Structure 1
Amino acid sequence: MKFSEITEKEWPGLQLYLDTCILPVTGMTGMEQPWEAGDALERLRDVLDGIEFPYKGRVVTYPALHYCEGNESGRAYIEQVCRGLRSAGFAYVVVVTAKPEIAELVLQEADLLLSVPEEALREQGREAKRIAGEKITQLWMSKK
């Protein structure tokens, strides 16, 4: 589910089942041309497609962090948001990105940093999305 599909009234009943927060990170710098920004959003959407639909009853996708570079300040910002999401009650926080610089970060506050390289999405499509979904399932199984 997307965060915008959940009302305040529904949340207490859903929170038990929707225990996993997906935090998309676009990783743009602000120096992108319009088409580059569009391409970045499309790549992130393609990665999210393999997670959001198959796990709709268990995950909540939050708004993306768009301007967050793969450096120390970007890492600190992502960590801060992950801590906040965990404080909000999510048992699992999964950071999803299509940006290689973000994928290389070491995040202590996220349970999983999931990235599908652009080449894999182009060449393997469905298989790359299936593997991404399997990593989410493995996370849930390992934390029982």
Structure 2
Amino acid sequence: MNKRHEVLFTQLESYRSEILGLLENVTEVDAEWVPRNFNNNIRWNLGHIYLDQYLWIQALTKEVGDVPEPFNTWFGYGTSPTDFTPETPSFEELKSLLQEQPAQIKAKYGGRLEEEFPPTEMGMHTIEQVLIRTIFHEGMHLQTILDLKKCR
């Protein structure tokens, strides 16, 4: 793995650690709360972050995804906690999935970061480009989680 790819995975792990660190004093009750003027809660944001990386990789590679289908029903674009079912992963389960995800992505796709694919609708044509986009997206949700915590 070249230096640029090492930096990319370091950034992914760093953002993920920052998000997980924000959750240290968050309870299950806190994670479920949807403040007035918000559409989602902390639990939904965690599931969405987890899903987003895999969806973009899948959209690019056209390979079978790494996330069970119901994740899109619970955490996909346009969904909300009102879409949750008893099978929806708990706050604790989502934290665990998020902690494991960077290493799983690195193991599965680390050697394929520059492999060329037909571009996505956003013009991305490598897994490296997808990961850069998803790290940016994760940062947006990090801010949302901070905002949700401030409202509590």
TM-score (ref. length: structure 2):
0.30
Bigger RCO (CA 8 Å, 6+ sep): 2
TM-score (ref. length: structure 1):
0.31
Higher helix share: 2
Tell which structure's C-alpha radius of gyration is larger.
Answer: 2
